[in-house]
A and B are shown apart, each in its own frame.
Chain A
């Protein structure tokens, strides 16, 4: 089966940088995604890494190390609206099913 671990909560100051780590165990690994979910809403896709290295999309960057079964999401220039839950998710198996991590609740404070 799959297992993913993330910190449960992170607090950071507006304008700062925060890194959310994710470690995983899975078979048939294809890639690692990151999703944002605000309370009561559906997840929205942020990024995807299939290969080792850093992917940058605006204020958000995501990193993957396949050999270490580890990835992280980096959020820069934090804004209050970034307060949400962030999930890493592994893509695995024949249908490329997506298994979500435990989620990290980010609170951005003034």
Chain B
């Protein structure tokens, strides 16, 4: 089956530093990847849609200069949380849609990255 990995699985950083999270599709190519954020006991909130080779599309209320997304290849998308603050502490999850997939239901989720900002 299609596997999506995320690295790191958890990270603790100091306030004001930047953190990069990688999302990789291991056995398929993904033209589209999605980044979500989930606070404890809440739903997944879509942050942005990332398409290979083009700029990401951010959801309303998500600061594109704070959450930098780079989808440089068909198997890798990165999310960089710049100048992180404690309120950015959350569970960040990516998902990937296989290249050529019917555009409705195929997306595979990574295991998530738990970010804690001190």
Contact = CB atoms under 8 A, between A and B. Distances in A.
A96 interface: yes
Given A43-B93, A87-B43, A101-B43, A96 B104 contact: yes
28 contacts: A30-B103, A31-B104, A31-B105, A41-B111, A41-B112, A42-B109, A42-B110, A42-B112, A43-B44, A44-B109, A45-B107, A48-B104, A50-B104, A87-B44, A91-B105, A95-B32, A95-B49, A95-B57, A96-B97, A96-B104, A97-B46, A97-B49, A98-B107, A100-B36, A102-B42, A102-B43, A103-B42, A103-B43
Contacts of B95: 98
Interface residues of B, number: 24
**Does more than half of chain B's interface fall in helix, strand or loop, or is it mixed?**
strand
Given A43-B93, A87-B43, A96 B103 contact: yes
B112 A33 contact: no
Interface in B22-70: 32, 34, 36, 42-46, 49, 51, 57, 60
Contacts of A98: 34, 46, 95, 107
B44 A33 contact: no
A99 interface: yes
Interface of A: 1, 30-31, 33, 41-45, 48, 50, 87, 91, 95-103
B21 to A, nearest CB: 13
A42 B105 contact: no
Contacts of B60: 1
Q: Across the A-B interface, give the 6 residue pairs with the lowest CB-CB distance, nearest first.
A: A48-B105, A42-B109, A100-B44, A96-B103, A100-B43, A103-B43
A97 B44 CA distance: 13
Interface in B77-110: 93, 95, 97, 103-105, 107-110
A97 B109 contact: no
Contacts of A31: 104-105
